[in-house]
Chain A
Amino acid sequence: MTTEKLELFEVFVRPKRGLDHKHVGSLHAEDKEQALEYARDVYTRRTEGISIWVVKSGDICASQEDDRESFFDPSDDKPYRHATYYPLPKEISNM
């Protein structure tokens, strides 16, 4: 049995009903149940939330920030995706 190499979990807290769970940090735990209890103990001591998600860090698939130019590039040169690209006549105030 190893006690040194516990699994790393990422912790997400929903601050309030209706809001998304937000990443708050990570912790080590033996399994997901324990991770949930630890997360409660270390990340919500001041009623920071009403619901917690824990996810094994290894299960998160992340894009690399270094690749962001090629990864996100195709969408930044399309100003017509924004409403401000279409000036409204001043007579129209309710669109």
Chain B
Amino acid sequence: MSDHTKLEVEHELEIAFQAKIDDEQKVEPKDWMPEGYRKNLIRQMSQHAHSEVIGMQPEGNWITRAPSLRRKAVLLAKVQDEAGHGLYLYSATETLGISRSQMIEALQTGTAKYASIFNYPTQTWGDMGAIGWLVDGAAICNQVSLQRTSYGPYARGMIRICKEESFHQRQGYQIMIELAHGTPAQKKMAQDSLNRFYWPSLMMFGPHDSDSAHSAKSMKWKIKRETNDDLRQKFIDQTVSQIEYLGLEHPDKALVWNEERNHYDSSDLDWDEFYSVINGNGHCNRQRIQHHIKAHEEGAWVREAMAAYKQKKQLKNATNAA
């Protein structure tokens, strides 16, 4: 086939592919797909998986210091869920032809990103409340939308994850309720956590649509179903009454209801901070990756033991068969 006809065939395939997407049909692993679609998905899904895995660190920090046995059990269950969600997402990404070890390497060498929120330190127990409530809340907003993403394995993974995650936000909010309605010192702790985590939570939705490198393509291919700004607005709107109920001060002093838009108007975010953290200069970027590498290396003996055991079993089976 000449290069010319090859291009023509490719073009036809792309038209058929887009028609399928426009018709709300899901794409499945063995279907033909444009290289750009595959690459875009691998980038987004692996980042999503990395976020679940790195996301265990800030909360893991408080497991041994949880204020009661019940709190400890809840936090453990939540962190355990995040590990599971990382696994679902890595596996779904592998259906696109990238290996787990390639993804881990990209994370550890910094070529792949994860949600910048996890580069903020968790300083108080109140942060466990704020993370569950705001960070998981923002993640759920995004993930609910992704249940309708065009790639079948990703969509199905999101449905499972959303179901499991339903308790994450509520347990966080419950921590906030207890602190906010507690002693003045506890209320102060809740306010401090809200103040620190509110803005980075809004940044989780990514840059403005106009500045988002991948948004337009992702929307056309229905990898993303709602834009960063729309999802962020949804989250801003729904959080207002939740802050009111806690009796805490809203961190955004410019927040005002806009009758015409039927949404809240709010302050713009500190995008310098966003890009600085994304590019590796947050409080915990180095620590998070170093910890991941350390855990991976310290687990090497388990992987070696498993391989040795498998070999031994094979040898035994071969001897028995002979």
Chain A positions near chain B (C-beta within 8 angstroms): 14, 17-18, 20, 51, 78, 80-83, 85-86, 88-89, 91-95
Q: With contacts defined as CB atoms under 8 Å apart, how many contacts are there between chain A and chain B in the complex?
A: 56
Among the listed A81, A89, A95, which residue makes an inter-chain contact with B77, where contact means beta carbons less than 8 Å apart? A81
Instruction: Return A52 CB to nearest CB of chain B, in Å.
Output: 12
- State whether B245 touches A92 (Cβ < 8 A): yes
Chain B interface main SS type: helix
Among the 9-residue stretches B97-105, B120-128, B171-179, B206-214, the one with 4 or more Cβ atoms under 8 Å from chain A is B171-179
Q: Interface centre among B70, B155, B241, by most A CB within 10 Å?
A: B241
Using CB atoms, name the residue of chain A closest to B74: A80
Is A91 in contact with B167, judged by CB distance below 8 angstroms?
no
Rounded to whole angstroms, the CA-CA distance of A83 and B282 in the bound complex is 32
A17-B26, A18-B26 known; A78-B169 Cβ under 8 A? no
Distance A85 CA – B28 CA, assembled complex (angstroms):
36
Q: Given the known A-B contacts A17-B152, A20-B156, A86-B174, are A80 and B25 also in contact in the complex, defined by CB atoms under 8 Å?
A: no
Are B167's CB and A78's CB within 8 A?
no
Across the A-B interface, give the 10 residue pairs with the lowest CB-CB distance, nearest first.
A18-B26, A83-B166, A86-B170, A17-B26, A83-B167, A94-B238, A17-B25, A80-B74, A86-B174, A91-B245
Chain A residue contacts of B166, Cβ below 8 A: 82-83
B155 neighbours in A (Cβ, 8 Å): 18
Contact across chains for A89 and B170 when beta carbons are under 8 A apart: no
Q: Is B174 in contact with A80, judged by CB distance below 8 angstroms?
A: no
Residue B242, interface by CB 8 Å = yes
Which residues does chain B contribute within 8 Å of A83, judged by CB atoms? 166-167, 170
12 new A-B pairs (CB below 8 Å) besides A78-B73, A81-B167, A85-B167?
A: A17-B152, A78-B77, A81-B77, A82-B166, A83-B170, A86-B167, A86-B171, A89-B177, A92-B245, A95-B137, A95-B169, A95-B242
For chain A, what secondary structure do more than half of its interface residues adopt (helix, strand, loop), or is it mixed? loop
CB distance from A34 to the nearest CB of B (A): 20
Q: Contact: B167 with A89, CB < 8 Å?
A: no
Q: Which of B26, B156, B170, B177 has the most CB of A within 10 A?
A: B170
Q: Which residue of A lies closest to B70 (CB)?
A: A80
A-B contact list, 21 entries, CB within 8 Å: A17-B25, A20-B156, A51-B28, A78-B73, A80-B73, A80-B77, A80-B171, A81-B77, A81-B81, A82-B166, A86-B170, A88-B170, A88-B173, A89-B177, A92-B173, A92-B241, A92-B242, A92-B245, A93-B241, A94-B241, A95-B137
Q: Distance in Å from the Cβ of A66 to the closest Cβ of chain B?
A: 24
Size bin of chain B's contact surface: 20 to 34
Residue of A with least CB distance to B23: A17
Q: Which of B161-187 contact A (CB under 8 A)?
A: 164, 166-167, 169-171, 173-174, 177
Return B68 CB to nearest CB of chain A, in Å.
12
Of all chain A residues, the one with the shortest Cβ separation from B177 is A89
**CA of A11 to CA of B322, assembled, Å:** 34
**A93: which B residues are within 8 A, CB to CB?**
241
Q: Which residues of B have CB within 8 Å of A91?
A: 241, 245
Q: Which residues of B contact A95 (CB under 8 A)?
A: 137, 169-170, 173, 238, 242
Least CB distance, B167 to chain A, in whole angstroms: 4
Question: Within 8 Å CB of A94, what residues of B?
Answer: 238, 241-242
Give the Cβ gap from B16 to chain A, nearest Cβ, in Å.
14
Chain B residues with CB under 8 A of A80: 70, 73-74, 77, 167, 171
A residues in contact with B245, CB < 8 Å: 89, 91-92
Chain B residues numbered 192-211 whose CB sits less than 8 Å from any CB in chain A: none
Cα-based distance from A75 to B171 in the complex (angstroms)? 18
- In the complex formed, the residue of B with least CB distance to A88 is B170
Rounded to whole Å, the gap between the CB of A41 and the closest CB of chain B is 21
Instruction: Name which of B137, B152, B167 has the most chain A CB atoms within 10 A of its CB.
Output: B167
Q: Which of B73, B156, B242 has most A Cβ within 10 Å?
A: B242
What B residues does A88 contact at CB under 8 A?
Answer: 170, 173
